[in-house]
Amino acid sequence: MKIIDSTLLDVVTAQSVRSPRLRMNYNFHESLDAKSQRLLNALEPGTVLPIHRHLHTAETYIVLRGSLRVQFYNEKKELINSEILNYNDGKYGVDIPAGQYHTLDVLESGTVIFEVKDGPYQPLKPEDILQCE
C-alpha cells in the first residue's frame, strides 16, 4: 500500500527540480511490462515534452496540484484545442484518446499529475512525434 499525500508529492517534486529534464516519475506499476502504467509525474515549468501520440493506448492525466496547459494537434501540425487544467479552477484532468497528438506546458512550479495508460511501456517512435518548426 502506498498513500498519495503531500509528503510523497513533495519528494517527487524535489526530484523533478533537480532533474535536467525538469520532471520525475514515481511509478506504482512494478515493471515496464505491466498491463497498466500508473504513475505520478512531477513537472516543472520549462520541461520539454514533444508533440506526440500513443497509437496503442489512451492516456489520462489527473492534476493533483499545480496547473498545466494541454494542447492537441492534428496531423497537419495545426493546434486544434488547448485546455488549462487546474485543480483550483475545477478542471481536474483529461482523457486523451489513442492516436491523438498532444503536448503540455507546465504553468506552475510544483505541478504533479497522476497519469494512467495501458501497458506495456512503449517508447515513442519517430513517427509518433510531430515535428513542428
Record the pTM: 0.93
Residue at 130 is within a domain:
no
Strand order in the sheet with 36-43: 23-27, 36-43, 111-118, 59-65, 93-96
User: Structural domain tally of the chain?
Assistant: 1
Residue at 131 is within a domain:
no
Residue 90 domain boundaries: 6-120
The 10s digit of each residue's pLDDT in 14-33 is: 999 999 999 999 999 999 88
In this structure, what C-alpha cell is assigned to residue 103?
Answer: 503536448
Residue at 127 is within a domain:
no
The 10s digit of each residue's pLDDT in 54-68 is: 999 999 999 999 999
Q: What is the CATH number of the domain that holds 115?
A: 2.60.120.10
Residue at 109 is within a domain:
yes
Residue at 128 is within a domain:
no
Residue at 25 is within a domain:
yes
